[in-house]
Amino acid sequence: MRLLLLGGTSEARDLAAHLVAGRVDVTSSLAGRVAEPRLPVGKVRIGGFGGVTGLRSALAGYDAVVDATHPFALGMSANAVAACAATGVPLLRLERPGWEPDETWHYADSHEEAAALAGRLGNRPFLTVGRQELARFLPSLRRHAVLARVVQAPELAMPETWELVTSRGPYTLAGETLLMREHRSDVLVTKDSGGTYTWPKMEAAASLDVPVVVIRRPAAPDAVRVVNTVEAALGWVKEQSCAFS
């Protein structure tokens, strides 16, 4: 069985490692957003497929798909649902659960709402929302002393009051506390990414009494089976393999 694994997440890399160890013919797919991505083991292809049409054509080379992209990578997930439905290729969504809600957090339904909220809550926001979303924070936070953390610098022209730090998780509580102390962050903004990779910033904010703005997850596409763990995804792949053997 030939499996296409839509990745770009730690779960996808973990799943790829298990599948390669189990001798499953898996190809991981990355969007190609960053210059030096963390590569999974096994076969890797990089770059978009060319929308639903391109993905439909690509699926001729695969028997099943696991979509393990980030919970905020809605476009890719929607394309996977459409292309798999059109071709009859079985699809599984592997999605890490969101963080357990905390009553002290301030929730926002969009990046723009999060920017406005952060602008009211503090003067020195710490933005951990990804390079692609930074532009959406400019209108509300142009004059704030923002610290923006990204994996790779954006092309965006940053205001003089903004400071950029490039790094990649996982992070530690000590490191996050030091970073937020040095910057004197007075509000943290994050997506509800879930998982443990970026959790220490939430602990650091709590210990420093810094308010947190959490951007809610967008609604996931319907009509797709969803599992939350790599183990469950492995079980599904095994079921599919039996169907193909």
Q: How far is the CB of 52 from ligand NAP (least distance, A)?
A: 8
Binding residue for ligand NAP, selected from 3, 4, 30, 66, defined by CB under 6 A = 30
13, 107, 112, 196 from 216: Cα distances, Å: 24, 6, 12, 17
Q: Considering only residues 190 through 209, tell me which ones interact with ligand NAP, judged by CB under 6 A.
A: 191
Helix 200-208 to helix 173-183 angle, to the nearest 10 degrees?
A: 50
Which segment (25-33, 175-183, 207-215, 220-228) binds ligand NAP by CB under 6 A?
25-33
Q: Which two tokens stand for residue 102?
A: 């905390």
Interface with ligand NAP, residue 6, by CB under 6 A = yes
Binding residue for ligand NAP, selected from 1, 18, 25, 33, defined by CB under 6 A = 33
- By beta-carbon proximity to ligand NAP, the closer residue of 186 and 212 is 212
Residues 6 or more apart whose Cβ sits within 8 Å of residue 74: 218, 221
Q: Considering only residues 59 through 88, tell me which ones interact with ligand NAP, judged by CB under 6 A.
A: 69-70, 72-76, 79
Residues 6 or more apart whose Cβ sits within 8 Å of residue 14: 230
Binding residue for ligand NAP, selected from 2, 21, 38, 50, defined by CB under 6 A = 50
**What CA dihedral angle connects 63, 9, 52 and 89, to 10 degrees?**
20
Closest CA to 40 of 66, 1, 77: 66
Q: Are 196 and 169 in contact (CB under 8 A)?
A: no
Which segment (7-15, 16-24, 154-162, 174-182) binds ligand NAP by CB under 6 A?
7-15
- By beta-carbon proximity to ligand NAP, the closer residue of 93 and 124 is 93
Q: How far is the CB of 171 from ligand NAP (least distance, A)?
A: 14
- By beta-carbon proximity to ligand NAP, the closer residue of 208 and 227 is 227
Burial class (CB in 10 A: 0-12, 13-18, 19+), 25: middle
Interface with ligand NAP, residue 144, by CB under 6 A = no
Q: How far is the CB of 143 from ligand NAP (least distance, A)?
A: 26
Q: How far is the CB of 118 from ligand NAP (least distance, A)?
A: 17
Binding residue for ligand NAP, selected from 2, 38, 39, 51, defined by CB under 6 A = 51
Q: Using CA atoms, how far apart are residues 91 and 237, in angstroms rounded to an integer?
A: 10
Helix 74-87 to helix 51-58 angle, to the nearest 10 degrees?
A: 50
- Interface residues with ligand NAP (CB under 6 A) are 6-9, 29-31, 33, 48-51, 54-55, 69-70, 72-76, 79, 130, 132, 191
